[in-house]
Amino acid sequence: MFELFLPVGNAEVWWPGLVFLGFLIGMITGFFGIGGGFLLTPALKICFNVSYPVAIGSSLLQISLTSLFSAYKYWQQKSLDTKMGVVTAIAALIGTECGVRILKKISMTSTVIVAGYELPFTDLVINSCFFVLMVLTAAFMYREASQGDRGESEEPNTKIGEFIRSCPLPPFLSFKQSKISELSLWVPTTLSFFVGCLTGLLGIGGGFVGLPLMIYLLGMPTRIAVGTSTIQVLLASCYGMFRHMQQGHVDILLVAFMLLGSIAGVNTGVKIAKKVDARDTRKYFAALLLLGILLIIYDMLYRFV
């Protein structure tokens, strides 16, 4: 009664679980302004046995739709920088195409032998990328947010961010909503290109990397960065989804069931975000990344048991 066969994913799943997963991802999107693909993609693979290529393509469609709704909510609250969002999204689209092509090359290698076990090469590469990125990002954000509990400003000011923002290469732009008077165009576009590569390769909106980059390197206020991140995630995910759909890696039925929970999740996340201060938001984000890390560790260990 509660079992559902996915024609593209070629897997039989428990559909109430998909609805609940959609609600969680929607809440994450609304609260942090990220797509939640770093949890959604591994969750579909680990919990529902959907192959990584289909999990990636379907995740991007899910992220596109929830990010659209989330961006609209933040636009209503005037908590996003449209100019910054468009600039970063254009560079992210180019990066996304590169990521999709990299994934296609990786998929050509079927399996590898690790510690005497045969593992799908694609799974190994993607799990490793997820693990390294999430560990580094979570450790840095939690350390910064915890050290800031001494009465300083809620917003961080890192030396590496100051150095990057001092880039002297023209042209220069100003971003009024983000309180940035002058910034080289090459700074946000280069960072966003990197985020776009991750979008195409890992099936994520790129928000779990893009959000910290906006806060720590571009110097955007946390609340504005959360809202603006949804624009970048939206456009990059849409393009990535389109490219994966061309390769037959999107399961519409899978996404439809997740969307049943996502709309309510986004509304819940946006409402909660309004009540949480900037420093706590960064702490909670680090904790969320820890959950993703545990998922990856579980998947790695499961293969060797």
* Band (20; pLDDT cuts 50, 70, 90): very high
pLDDT of 189 reads 92
Mean pLDDT calculated for residue range 162-179: 90
Residue 276 carries which DSSP code? S
Is the separation of the CB atoms in 37 and 59 below 8 Å?
yes
Alpha carbons 121 and 127: distance in angstroms, whole number: 10
Query: What separation in angstroms does the CA of 91 have from each of 58, 98, 132, 192, 205?
Result: 23, 11, 23, 6, 14
* Region of poorest pLDDT, from 72-76, 182-186, 200-204: 200-204
Task: Look up tokens 């961080």; give the residue.
Answer: 156
Q: Tell how many helices (H) and how many strands (E) occur in the chain.
A: 11, 6
Mean pLDDT calculated for residue range 227-234: 82
* Band (279; pLDDT cuts 50, 70, 90): confident
Q: Per-residue pLDDT for 108 more than 60? A: yes
pLDDT of 271 reads 85
pTM score, whole prediction: 0.69
* Band (185; pLDDT cuts 50, 70, 90): very high
With a CB cutoff of 8 Å and minimum separation 6, the contacts of 164 are: 187, 217, 218
Is the separation of the CB atoms in 84 and 178 below 8 Å?
yes
pLDDT of 149 reads 53
pLDDT of 100 reads 82
Mean pLDDT calculated for residue range 70-85: 84
Alpha carbons 219 and 213: distance in angstroms, whole number: 8
pLDDT of 172 reads 93
Mean pLDDT calculated for residue range 15-41: 83
pLDDT of 45 reads 82
Mean pLDDT calculated for residue range 201-214: 74
Mean pLDDT calculated for residue range 46-62: 84
With a CB cutoff of 8 Å and minimum separation 6, the contacts of 231 are: 71, 80, 82, 85, 86, 88, 89
pLDDT of 144 reads 75
pLDDT of 9 reads 65
Mean pLDDT calculated for residue range 180-184: 91
Q: Per-residue pLDDT for 153 more than 70? A: no
